[in-house]
Amino acid sequence: MALPRRHFLAASMAATAAATAATAGAAVPPLLRAPRLRPGDTVALINPSGAIYERAPYQFATEALQALGFKVREAPNLRARYGHFAGTDAQRAADVNAMFADPSVQGILAMTGGSGGNRILPLIDYAAIRRRPKFLGGFSDLTALINAVQVQTGLVTFHCPMGASEWNDFSVQWLRSAVMEAQAVTLANPKDREDNLAVRGGRITTLRGGTARGPLVGGNLAVLSSMAGSAYWPRFDGAILFLEDVNEYIYRVDRMLSTLKLSGALDRVAGVVLGGFTNCGPGDGNYGTLTLDEVFDDYFKPLNVPVYSGALFGHIKRKFTLPVGLPVEMDADAGTVRFLQPAVL
């Protein structure tokens, strides 16, 4: 049963204060990797963010996971709704906590993104997650949860397709390699020109060449920038930052990158990998706007670290699976990210 609103808000504020205090000056938790997923394991579907207004995506997600060989469990509040959220904050957090606590569940996958993930972060039982590490995956608004869990527990989490995503062969291959086969893979866009004279889709653009090593952090730019200054924001020192977004005007992308710059985050990273910035244009009536390329040049070229764009992740059809928190090596000239060790055990 959900807490009365005044008690819930008080509990949330207290949890946030406690998490901030615990993070300030605290040692970085050691890297924690979950057991790999195997055929026959149970994967729980959760919905920490926005509500889904149709029944079909639930069935599609179940069938896709079953095709991978998993048993599927619906979290108790998976189909709940509170406004545009998939249930109250307490309900959504309760599902995360319950699925981590349940010993019969080996993996946890988000159904979809949307918004609202930030609201549940103070209500997550991070100590329980440390005691029972499991696969946790999603992208878009799940940027909040997968980074918060990584920061608070050390667990490698996954920026990967969600239940309602398109489970095409490309996306399945990379998820299976990273999460089920425990391979230390190298993420590289295919050089497939299809029926064009030159490669058109999935092109890599090198903004500044070179290689760099560090833990992989990031996700959706809008969500990541909204976490600024909290106890759940990633540690950017020496990190490889990856970013994507969707349906944002260019001036908003510029403003969100300015948040990362003004906070000092961009000046601490070892390298940057940019994925899909889908439908991010100037908008109607925005005469004289900078292009997205110019915005990226302004923010990333002065960093003097390797940077490339065009990596296959984000709100696009074909998606890599990226392990948040895992040490990787990026090569901005080749357009690759190499795992320095398997992301699961």
Query: Looking at the annotation, which residues are catalytic?
Result: 140, 244, 315
How far apart CA 92 and CA 52 sit, in angstroms, is: 14
What does residue 167 show for φ and ψ, rounded to 5 degrees? Answer: -95, 70
Q: How many CB atoms lie within 10 A of CB 81?
A: 16
Pairing of strands 211-220, 135-138: unpaired
3-state secondary structure of 94: helix
Structure tokens that stand for 154 in this block: 């050390």
Q: Are 275 and 143 in contact (CB under 8 A)?
A: no
Q: How many CB atoms lie within 10 A of CB 249?
A: 16
Q: How many CB atoms lie within 10 A of CB 298?
A: 14
Residue of 341, 224, 231 whose CA lies nearest to 272:
224
Ramachandran assignment for 127, one of left (phi > 0), alpha (psi -120 to 50 degrees), beta (any other): alpha
Q: How many CB atoms lie within 10 A of CB 9?
A: 12
Per the DSSP assignment, residues forming a β-bridge with 142 are none
What does residue 22 show for φ and ψ, rounded to 5 degrees? Answer: -70, -35
- In the chain, DSSP assigns E strands to 42-46, 71-74, 107-110, 135-138, 157-159, 186-188, 205-208, 211-220, 240-246, 271-278, 307-309, 322-324, 327-331, 336-339
